[in-house]
């Protein structure tokens, strides 16, 4: 997959995540139409921490693993199938990083626990995004849906058997 496509997909997801981060900050500061309420501040703070971990995954882990220069993504349209392929690759990269950090026979660094938290948060975000893409039936025609299901089945996404898709 070309680096421009990977950077575009990363850039699009980073923009959404940064918007979510800003909204959560406004909620916690009391500057939003939404309010945290009595039981809510801890939940919103946890959400904000999780979003920040995922942002770090997109900004630190993936560029280093894929040998990409961080920066503005090239402006190009990426269809849902191509996006799904890039997200599957990113999810696999996050999984490999997380597993590598847990290997007992490797030399451990002081920041391993932090990097493991980032890789795990990134993996979970990407898993959820791929589930949303695969479940967006009304937005995707049958050929694209079949391709998305095939990508998800090959990548081992739970809940996708490929039944009725023709492979």
Q: Per residue in 143-164, pLDDT tens?
A: 666 776 666 666 655 554 444 4
Q: Two tokens at 21? A: 């981060």
Range of the domain at 53: 3-66
Q: Per residue in 24-74, pLDDT tens?
A: 898 888 776 666 566 567 888 999 999 999 999 999 999 999 998 766 666
Q: How many domains does the chain have?
A: 2
As a whole-number percent, the residues of the chain with pLDDT over 70 amount to 72
Q: pTM of whole model > 0.85?
A: no
Are 147 and 93 found together in one domain? Answer: yes
* Domain final position from 13, 41, 66: 66
Are 84 and 129 found together in one domain? Answer: yes
- The answer to whether residue 20 is domain-embedded is yes
Q: Per residue in 82-120, pLDDT tens?
A: 899 999 999 999 999 999 999 988 888 888 999 999 999
- The answer to whether residue 33 is domain-embedded is yes
* Domain final position from 35, 66, 97: 66
CA geometry: angle at 69 spanning 157 and 7, to 5°? 40
Are 91 and 45 found together in one domain? Answer: no
């Amino acid at each position: 997959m070309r680096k421009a496509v990977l950077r575009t997909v990363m850039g699009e997801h980073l923009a959404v995540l940064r918007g979510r981060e800003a909204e959560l900050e406004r909620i916690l500061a009391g500057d939003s139409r939404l309010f945290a309420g009595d039981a809510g501040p801890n939940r919103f703070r946890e959400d904000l921490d999780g979003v920040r971990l995922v942002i770090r995954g997109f900004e630190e882990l993936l560029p280093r693993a894929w040998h990409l220069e961080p920066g503005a993504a090239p402006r190009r349209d990426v269809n849902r199938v191509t996006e799904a392929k890039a997200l599957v690759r990113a999810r696999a990269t996050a999984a490999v990083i997380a597993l590598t950090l847990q290997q007992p026979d490797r030399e451990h660094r002081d920041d391993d626990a932090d990097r493991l938290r980032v890789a795990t948060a990134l993996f979970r975000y990407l898993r959820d995004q791929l589930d949303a893409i695969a479940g967006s039936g009304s937005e995707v025609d049958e050929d694209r849906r079949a391709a998305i299901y095939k990508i998800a089945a090959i990548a081992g996404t739970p809940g996708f058997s490929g039944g009725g898709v023709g492979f």
